[in-house]
Chain A
Amino acid sequence: MILAERLGKRYGLRPVLRGVSLQVARGEFVAVLGANGAGKTTLLRILATLTRPDAGALWIGGVDALRHPERVRQQIGLVSHHSLVYGELTAAENLRFYGWLYGLRGDALERRIEEALRQMDLWSRRHDRARTFSRGMTQRLTIARALLHDPAVLLLDEPFTGLDQGAAATLSSLLREAALEGRAVIMTTHEIHRGLEGVTRALILRDGQIVHEQRDDLAPQLLAALLHDHANA
């Protein structure tokens, strides 16, 4: 579903990504781990077609995403550091607006909005403006927005930030379910002890390079130890 080859990115003279190659199939749930500044967010922004790499190639669903980004965006859902929702629009209006941009309309759109808001337990607050929401509720609305157009690729940048334990547990099961449904899920996180249930592969990113790939034993304690070892290497 996603094929990235030797992605490179510099901000000024500082290299942020250095030759990152990655292949993620449908149904895979990949966690990208790394300390702050390792390049996780830049990698996710490149995969989301929001940032152009300086080097490398990227295909999503068989389409060259660097040459035809507008053709692959319909397949991408992104949960970023920021909510990407308008505080002065209600929860339903935010989803309706984004639905229109993705070509959804009419009854089909209204059904998707209801389903997404019920799934995120926000249906009772659908007429409330997003600026009145708590951090956790805003994060749930963000996830509803990312899933609204039923994307085949789900990219999440630190999605557990701001969620209470209950919501984090159910988000975790939702991400597992998203992968089981056939989506390619890529999540960055530095919280080893939350949300890694269901992850099929973990990558450790350091100084813009993938320095370790773990497929079999994905126990949080082991990943924490690996992350610590690579941070101090």
Chain B
Amino acid sequence: MISPRNSSLPCCTTMQTLESPSWARQVWALLWKDLVLEFRTRESITAMVAFAVMAMVMFNFALRLRVDAFRPLAPGILWVTLVFAGTLGLSRSFSNEQVNQCLDGLLLAPYDHSLVFIGKALVNFAFMLLTAALVIPLGAILLDERLAQPGVWLVTALGAMGYAGAGTLIAAMAANTRAREVFLPILLFPLALPLLVAAVIATAGFVDRAPLSEFGAWVGMIVAFIVLFWAAGTLLFEYLVES
């Protein structure tokens, strides 16, 4: 039975006594919610890690039959694996919001809706980093020990950030479509191709121990990709989720 109200406050005064919520706290709340949900369901991380590990192992066995030296192939294998695993996570990034129409609950809150994009993109970035934290050492064992070096970690972090930004934007577009799991990669892969190329070349530069001047522009291209898609997501998210 619902009880009568027993408030110490008269109606509608709570908000007047509070300062405006800060965007940092609101983004933290969005992150906290997604991380707790993922910790309890393990839907995204389990799929991403399992896929990434299996893909690396299968690449290893399939290519070993015909290839003697993995060094030229290792950056490409690493990035194709990360991009496919990341797409698995991205395809689920709005699934929690579709159950019980929770996206409406997020959109009702008193903030700029771009904060929802930032929260989602940060979560996707974190999931990709976690996957990379397992895939890079595995790649170093199976493909080329030079993958486990700080330069590769840096390129992976930047590339994952760019992919999470572009992927979250497209995932928001795909969220309300019936065939979203097909729609997402079809739209995302062509968009992410420049990022993939830049990330593979920059990773290869570190693996080959080439001078930074030879591949630094490709690292710059990854940074430009991050700026472009995080800015686009921040500006466009409101229109993508608006009914």
A residues near B (Cβ < 8 Å) are 45, 48-52, 70-71, 73-76, 78, 80-89, 93, 97-98, 100-105, 108, 111-112, 115, 118-121, 140, 143, 145, 149-152, 166-167, 170-171, 173-174, 177-178, 181-183
Contacts and interface: CB of A to CB of B under 8 A. Distances in A.
Contacts, number: 150
B6 interface: yes
A103 B110 contact: yes
Given A100-B25, A183-B12, 14 more contacts: A82-B100, A82-B104, A84-B108, A86-B33, A86-B102, A88-B40, A88-B96, A89-B33, A97-B33, A101-B110, A102-B15, A150-B14, A174-B5, A177-B4
Interface in B1-29: 1-15, 18-22, 25-26, 28-29
A105 B36 contact: no
B231 to A, nearest CB: 19
Contacts of B9: 150
Contacts of A104: 14, 18
B104 A173 contact: no
Contacts of A70: 110-112
B70 interface: no
Nearest to A98: B105
In the A-B complex, the 5 residue pairs with the smallest Cβ-Cβ separation, listed nearest first, are A103-B21, A181-B11, A82-B101, A84-B105, A150-B14
Question: Which interface residue of A50, A76, A152, A174 has the most chain B CB atoms within 10 A?
Answer: A50
B223 interface: no
A86 B102 CA distance: 7
Contact of B36 (A89, A121, A150): A89
Contacts of A121: 1-3
B61 interface: no
A70 B112 CA distance: 6
Contacts of A151: 12, 15
14 contacts: A49-B108, A70-B111, A73-B110, A83-B101, A84-B101, A87-B100, A98-B105, A103-B25, A103-B110, A150-B15, A152-B11, A173-B4, A174-B5, A181-B12
Given A70-B110, A101-B29, A152-B12, A86 B4 contact: no
B33 A170 contact: no
A87 to B, nearest CB: 6
A75 B104 CA distance: 16
Given A70-B111, A73-B108, A88 B41 contact: yes
B2 A167 contact: yes
Contact of A85 (B2, B18, B102): B102
Contacts of A152: 11-12
B107 interface: yes
A84 B100 contact: yes
B108 A149 contact: no
Contact of B37 (A81, A88, A100, A166): A88
A161 B21 CA distance: 33
A175 to B, nearest CB: 10
B99 interface: yes
B37 A86 contact: yes
Contacts of B19: 103
Nearest to A181: B11
Interface in B68-120: 96, 99-102, 104-112
